[in-house]
A and B are shown apart, each in its own frame.
Chain A
Amino acid sequence: MGIPVGMISAIYNFALTTGANRVIRGARIEHVCGDPTLSPEKDYAFGMHIVRTALAAITVAVPGPTLFDPMQERK
């Protein structure tokens, strides 16, 4: 039995094309889980949203490489 992994990456297309099964879109390469241009509160909330999306991703079955996009879900 394998362990489900949520792979958080800003260059999510690389992760998908190289076969990662649960891929979560990160903010940017230099700050994957958050955004230092936001206020500390909003930065934290944004990071938390990405991390929660990643945790949700490992609770659902996927057929193969699948993208979970926290930015999409926010809109």
Chain B
Amino acid sequence: MKSPVRVVHYVNQFFGGVGGEDKADVGVSVTPGAVGPGRVLETALGAGARIEATIVCGDNFANDRAEEFARAVATELDRLKPDVVVAGPAFGSGRYGLACAQVCRIAQDRGLAAVTAMHPENPGASAARRGITILPTGTSTTSMPAALAALAPLAQRLGRRETLGPAEVEGYLPQGRRRVYDRGRPGFQRALDMLLDKLHGRPYRSEVPYSAPERVPPAAPIADLTRARIAMVTTGGLVRKGNPDKQVSANAVRYHRHSVAELESLSPKEWEAYHAGYFNHLVNSNPNYILPLSFLRDLERQGAIGAVHEHIYALPGVSTPVAVSAGHGRSIAADLKQGGVDGALLVAT
């Protein structure tokens, strides 16, 4: 018979039975055997594994005194030498999630297997999911039974040094890694099967993961355009002539803000497009095609809009990862808000 997998469990002060928020500053301590949710975990682990010890630490201590925390956890792990470390589950608790992720990293740095569980939007998960194995849970302890039932078999296997399959099969959070492996059948056969399944209305699964775009609730409309301050943003790669700011033509890591307070229109003598995704020559003859300043100035004069915002925002919107684009958008939106802007026109090429 194989000897049982030796597990060390990490929990915070609350689940460790030390106390609530008032005890969040307590330091690292070790209790032999299972504590709190660890008892249920041990039952789920069955005869093949046992919890040797439970490391307990206050959430504030683990985060505010991170180096001291890391040293203490490392010392205990070196002493206990478990086959696998299980941390949490931390659910939606941010400090606890960060501590669990940190414990997993410390364990892995010492060559120990480790697994944790928390809600996918826990900061611990977003900060660390690439490096460690995290099972998704709900936001609250109501998902404790399910979380422990999922953790137990994974902990067993990791403790036996088994290599886990891909995230979509095993159920842990995707780590953004691509592993080369043999799917057994060549791509054209799999593609044809998928096509046939689609045509026959049978269920099929794409091999290319799809991430649905973020939905933003529509902003309330402007009540009175004649009093509104309107701003302009372009992803058409507008730059000052000669590109003195050295903007790139694709995959922009920054956008540029320019003042148009003194301008009636964008002159091709002063502005041009630098964008790798379309032919720029027509915009170079009339940059207002991608940033409609000339039109808005006329409408401002006519009183159709209140004012043209003094700043414009420009970048080339091509080959930029969604996460980077979202960052640009948030930054521009915050600037517009601060500038008292009521509405914006975004021209995308």
A-side interface residues toward B, CB under 8 Å? 1-11, 15, 17-19, 21-22, 26, 29-34, 36, 44, 47-48, 50-52, 54-55, 58-64
Residues of chain B within 8 A of A1, CB atoms compared: 219-220
B41 within 8 A of A: no
Q: Name the residue of chain A whose CB is nearest to the CB of B212.
A: A19
B220 partner, pick from A2, A8, A30, beta carbons under 8 A: A2
**How big is chain B's contact interface, by range?**
35 or more
Residues of chain A within 8 A of B214, CB atoms compared: 19
In the complex, A58→B213 CA distance in Å? 22
B218 within 8 A of A: yes
B150 within 8 A of A: no
Q: Name the residue of chain A whose CB is nearest to the CB of B291.
A: A33
Q: Name the residue of chain A whose CB is nearest to the CB of B305.
A: A55
On whether the beta carbons of A5 and B295 are closer than 8 Å, the reply is: no
Shortest Cβ gap from A44 to chain B (Å): 8
In the complex, A26→B299 CA distance in Å? 19
B343 within 8 A of A: yes
On whether the beta carbons of A9 and B344 are closer than 8 Å, the reply is: no
- Count CB-based A-B contacts (< 8 Å): 134
In the complex, A65→B278 CA distance in Å? 25
Between B230, B236, B290, the greatest number of chain A beta carbons within 10 A of the residue's beta carbon is seen for: B290
In the complex, A3→B233 CA distance in Å? 13
Task: Decide: A4 near B349, CB < 8 A? Known: A32-B289, A47-B295, A51-B295.
Answer: no
B-side interface residues toward A, CB under 8 Å? 213-223, 225, 230, 233, 236, 278-283, 285-286, 288-290, 292, 294-296, 298-299, 304-305, 333, 336-337, 341-349
Task: Decide: A51 near B219, CB < 8 A? Known: A5-B344, A9-B347, A59-B225.
Answer: no
On whether the beta carbons of A8 and B346 are closer than 8 Å, the reply is: yes
Residues of chain A within 8 A of B236, CB atoms compared: 32
On whether the beta carbons of B219 and A33 are closer than 8 Å, the reply is: no
Shortest Cβ gap from B341 to chain A (Å): 6
Q: Name the residue of chain A whose CB is nearest to the CB of B223.
A: A59
Shortest Cβ gap from A45 to chain B (Å): 10
In the complex, A21→B225 CA distance in Å? 19
A-B contact pairs, 5 of them (CB 8 A): A29-B349, A31-B286, A32-B349, A36-B282, A36-B289
Shortest Cβ gap from B274 to chain A (Å): 14
In the complex, A5→B290 CA distance in Å? 15
Other A-B contacts than A2-B216, A3-B337, A30-B279, 16 sampled, CB-CB below 8 A, are A1-B219, A2-B219, A5-B233, A6-B345, A6-B346, A9-B349, A30-B281, A30-B283, A30-B289, A32-B349, A34-B286, A36-B289, A52-B299, A58-B225, A58-B345, A59-B225
